[in-house]
Structure 1
């Protein structure tokens, strides 16, 4: 399993929070620069077994070593498993998060072999099978992790109305650390 510098990630999040006390940066009012505890190996394995998938190593190691969201790009990382209340607060999950967890959906083949830029004529559901929603960017934009096929491990963004479904990062580590550096 690829290792993360948990202290480095959490330290950088503390710096980001200190530099943005009013939570003015995009998404900060949602994720609050906070990370939930890491998930136990047994919980991650149970998720994989229940959905018939193997999570890409970079993402799997993040939720196992660093945390299960929410601090992250866009409005923050969605939790892998059922959201837990932290300090009396609830994580909001939307229909995309719930749809991902329907039986068999994550294990289906990812239908695209190349980007699909521009307005999408097909229902988004037909294109997002075999991907896990990582973050919601607002206005119908979602960031998704490809789980299987030749594009497995890549991060793609879907915007049904304008930009299509296109890759935005070669993997979870690059996507997340780019956000940490950029902010």
Structure 2
């Protein structure tokens, strides 16, 4: 398993929060620089078995040791599974998150071998099969982890209206640490 410097990541998130007390950085108002507890290995395995997939090692290790979201790029890292709310908390997931986890969707073959710049329109739903939604940029633009095929493990941006499907990072670790180390 790809290990993470858990305390280093948590310290990095705290440092980012200290530099942004007004939560003015993009997405900070949503994720609030908070990490939820990691998921137990049994819960991750159950998710993989339910969906007939194997999560890329960098991401799997992150949710198992660092946290199940949300502090991270864009509006934050989407939870792999819905976090158990603490007393007085309420967790909500949107329709896109729930649709993403429909039976057969994650295990479907990822249909692209190469980037597809430009408008995707109605094809966005089909083109995002075989990917896991990691984050929302807003305006229907999502960051997704490719789960199978020759691009497995890569992070792509899906912008149905203008940007198309394009890679943004070679893997989860690079994508997350770029945010952590950035302004």
Using the TM superposition, give the Cα deviation of residue 122 of structure 1 relative to its aligned residue in structure 2, in angstroms.
3.9
Q: Which residue of 1 aligns with 2:5?
A: 5
- Does residue 1:16 correspond to 2:16, yes or no? yes
Q: TM-score, normalised by structure 2?
A: 0.97
* Cα gap change, 1:179 to 1:40, in 2 (>3 Å): same
5+ residue gaps, structure 2, are none
Q: Which residue of 2 aligns with 1:28?
A: 28
Whether the 8 Å contact between 1:136 and 1:143 is mirrored in structure 2 is yes
Residues 58-90 of structure 1, C-alpha deviation per residue, up to 9 Å, x if partnerless? 000000010000000000000001233245333
Residues 102-124 of structure 1, C-alpha deviation per residue, up to 9 Å, x if partnerless? 11110000000000001114431
Q: Which residue of 1 aligns with 2:155?
A: 155
Using the TM superposition, give the Cα deviation of residue 96 of structure 1 relative to its aligned residue in structure 2, in angstroms.
1.7
- Does residue 1:80 correspond to 2:102, yes or no? no
Q: Which residue of 2 aligns with 1:117?
A: 117
Structure 1 residue runs of 4 or more that deviate by more than 4 Å after TM superposition: none
5+ residue gaps, structure 1, are none
Residues 6-48 of structure 1, C-alpha deviation per residue, up to 9 Å, x if partnerless? 1000001111111111111110011011100011000000000
Aligned length: 183
Whether the 8 Å contact between 2:68 and 2:83 is mirrored in structure 1 is no
What does 1:172-183 correspond to in 2, within 5 Å? 172-183=172-183
Q: Which residue of 2 aligns with 1:166?
A: 166
Q: TM-score, normalised by structure 1?
A: 0.97
Q: Which moved more, 1:85-94 or 1:138-147?
A: 85-94
Q: Which residue of 2 aligns with 1:104?
A: 104
Give me the CA root mean square deviation.
Answer: 1.1
Q: 1:90, 1:29 → 2: CA distance?
A: 16
Q: Which residue of 2 aligns with 1:64?
A: 64
Using the TM superposition, give the Cα deviation of residue 154 of structure 1 relative to its aligned residue in structure 2, in angstroms.
0.3
Using the TM superposition, give the Cα deviation of residue 175 of structure 1 relative to its aligned residue in structure 2, in angstroms.
0.2
